[in-house]
Amino acid sequence: MNELLRRILFLPRQASTIAEEIDKLHYFVIIITMGGALLVTLIGGWFLFRYRRTAVQKDPSRRMPEATPAIWLEAVVVVGLFGMFILWWVIGFWQFMAIRVPPENALEIYVTGKQWMWKFAYPQGANSIATLYVPAGRPVKLILTSRDVIHSFFVPDFRLKQDVLPGRLTTLWFEAKEPGRHDILCTEYCGVSHSTMRGEVIALAPEEYERWLQGKSPAPAVAGPVDLRPSSVTDYAPPELVSMVRQGERAAAEHGCLRCHTLDGTPHLGPTWAGLYGTTIRLEDGGSVKVDEAYITESMMDPLARIHAGYQRIMPSYLGQIRPAETSAIIELMKSLRDVRPKPGAQAPWGTVTVPETREGGQ
């Protein structure tokens, strides 16, 4: 029954410990809502039919202009309805408190939202971008904040959501029932690439999670929805031999590079990589530099050191985020694009978003 209703209502999987309970209230509320609306419409429609003027003129006994309306009936229905609303409120508030109060033993992970990516930092020292690794079967408490505007951290499979505010720490806790992969979506409009600010929660078996924390790659034994985006590729060596360029594409997608840089010369927030390698670019503080391995590596590890003229200071540092093999793979990718001709106008940035934090930095 639960499964049937869940599918009829298009609800996602119930992957957290609280999801099924919330869905049960959902079924209760929505069935009453749909039933109530239909009932009122049917009664209204029946009256419209029964007391239509042609019928009333044929059979004047139907006409009851002096009839006392059944106010007591209305009162009973209204009071009953109010009781039902209060019942929903009681259950809903009860569940809400359960969602909001994390258990004592919850594992803590720090989350930072920025335009337009999620970053996760673990007290043990590990960190990641866009992919949140958690152990299944254990409560996890997220401590969230934002670097720029308001974002909202939403995992539909968990039925959980929390706004992420600059200058404030908010919390959210959940317990994934079993290993699996779940979408993270941003649900507070945050600018031009709001709809691409996505990520993924990967719940691992506890021992795999420990291995991951220690920097040892986990076995990719987690199932995901069939239509999961290909961008969240795992970061260990692929089973078959793949060219450096292909590996670079994967790494660039996984680390969120392609949210701001394009490969085909379309203008975007960062310089396009098409035809970039080997050229000489102007820098923000005057001067110029040749785009070679050294400059690219520097831009990944210390992006604000030398900024391409005309672009915002919005790129985060990838120091410690990205492995050396991936760095070289990305450089290889850029080399492979050196002959792609950028579209006209691609040298100018496309989104001119001012980020409050960098406003000062820029002065």
Chain residues 165-224 in contact with other proteins, contact rule CB under 8 A: 165-168, 170, 183, 185-196, 198
Tell me how far apart the alpha carbons of residues 120 and 126 are, in angstroms, rounded to a whole number.
Answer: 9
The residue among 141 and 211 lying less far from other proteins, judged by its C-beta, is 141
Which residues, numbered 228-247, are part of the site for other proteins (CB under 8 A)? 229
Residue 351 interacting with other proteins (CB under 8 A): yes
Cβ at position 71, least distance to other proteins in Å: 6
The residue among 95 and 297 lying less far from other proteins, judged by its C-beta, is 95
The dihedral built from the CA positions of residue 118, 119, 121 and 125, taken in this order, carries a sign that is positive
Cβ at position 47, least distance to other proteins in Å: 4
Which residues, numbered 22-51, are part of the site for other proteins (CB under 8 A)? 22, 25-26, 29-30, 32-34, 36-38, 40-41, 43-45, 47-48, 51
User: Which runs of E-coded beta strand occur in 61-210?
Assistant: 107-114, 117-121, 127-129, 131-135, 140-146, 151-155, 160-164, 170-174, 180-186, 199-204
Pairing mode of beta strands 117-121, 127-129: antiparallel
Residue 52 interacting with other proteins (CB under 8 A): yes
Contact track, other proteins, 314-333, x by CB under 8 A: --------------------
Cβ at position 113, least distance to other proteins in Å: 12
Binding part of the chain for other proteins, among 117-125, 144-152, 283-291, 294-302 by CB under 8 A, reads 144-152
Cβ at position 26, least distance to other proteins in Å: 6
- Strand order of the sheet with strand 107-114? 127-129, 117-121, 107-114, 140-146, 170-174
Which residues, numbered 65-84, are part of the site for other proteins (CB under 8 A)? 65-67, 69-71, 74, 77-78, 81-82
Show the tokens assigned to 65.
Answer: 């202009």
Cβ at position 247, least distance to other proteins in Å: 24
Cβ at position 180, least distance to other proteins in Å: 15
Give the CA angle between residues 53, 56, 60 to the nearest 5°: 150
Residue 124 interacting with other proteins (CB under 8 A): no
Work out which of 3, 104, 227, 240 binds other proteins, going by CB under 8 A.
227
Residue 287 region by backbone torsions, left for phi larger than 0, else alpha for psi between -120 and 50, else beta: left
Closest CA to 151 of 140, 163, 141: 163
The residue among 156 and 206 lying less far from other proteins, judged by its C-beta, is 156
The residue among 261 and 335 lying less far from other proteins, judged by its C-beta, is 261
Work out which of 163, 210, 284, 292 binds other proteins, going by CB under 8 A.
163
Burial class (CB in 10 A: 0-12, 13-18, 19+), 105: exposed
Cβ at position 79, least distance to other proteins in Å: 9
Residue 109 interacting with other proteins (CB under 8 A): no
The residue among 46 and 236 lying less far from other proteins, judged by its C-beta, is 46
204: three-class secondary structure by DSSP = strand
Closest CA to 25 of 84, 104, 103, 107: 84
Tell me how far apart the alpha carbons of residues 160 and 12 are, in angstroms, rounded to a whole number.
Answer: 12
The residue among 141 and 306 lying less far from other proteins, judged by its C-beta, is 141
User: Is the N-terminal amide bond of 118 cis, ω within 30° of 0?
Assistant: no
Give the C-alpha distances (Å, rounded to integers) separating 330 from 74, 229, 295.
Answer: 70, 20, 13
The residue among 57 and 217 lying less far from other proteins, judged by its C-beta, is 57
Show the tokens assigned to 320.
Answer: 């410690």
